[in-house]
Amino acid sequence: MYTREWTIRFGDVDMFQIGFYPRLMSEVRRTTERFMESLGYPFRELIDEQKLGLPIIEAGIEFENPVVAGDTLTLTVTPTVGETSLRFEIEARHADGTTAFTAFEQRVCLPVGGDETVPLPEDVRRVLGGSRNESTDGNER
């Protein structure tokens, strides 16, 4: 699990002064990138050094409470490791503990230049807490 704070700025909201969906999803992606960096496996290095990518094949967000400029959210990432896939669940909470939104990214492991999934490297699986017997929620590809 990984946690970070994000303060919503004026540019993160829409004309109605509530969180702008594309900015929220961009911050979700940034959070999963920082999570992987914190583990010592930045996405760019996986591509450069292991010749593997983890592209997003599905993503979504579900809003529970409004997000406005000035709010500070705590984003928590929880990974689920599959054989050839990785799912990140992200929960964003307001300072009072209420959930602002939940989001997810479903990623698959692909070799650079390839179009068939391959198993996640054992070292990546290990730092994410997965074993070869775990699987995702049916989104394995």
- Please report which confidence band the pLDDT of residue 135 belongs to, taking 50, 70 and 90 as the band edges: very low
Residue range(s) defining the domain that contains residue 110: 2-127
pLDDT digits (tens, 9 = 90+) for 113-128: 998 999 999 999 999 9
CATH of the domain at 19: 3.10.129.10
pLDDT tens, 16-44? 888 999 999 999 999 999 999 999 999 99
pLDDT of residue 130: 63
The reply to whether 15 falls in a domain is: yes
Q: What is the pLDDT of residue 140?
A: 34
137 assigned to some structural domain: no
C-alpha 36/C-alpha 3 separation (Å) is 12
pTM of this structure: 0.87
Cβ within 8 Å of residue 28, ≥6 positions away: 59, 61, 75, 90, 103, 105
pLDDT, tens digit, 9 for 90 and up, residues 42-89: 999 999 999 999 999 999 999 999 999 999 999 999 999 999 999 999
* Pair 85, 140: CB distance under 8 Å: yes
Radius of gyration from C-alpha coordinates of the chain: 16
In the chain, the number of structural domains is 1
Query: Residue 37 and residue 27: Cα distance in Å, rounded?
Result: 15
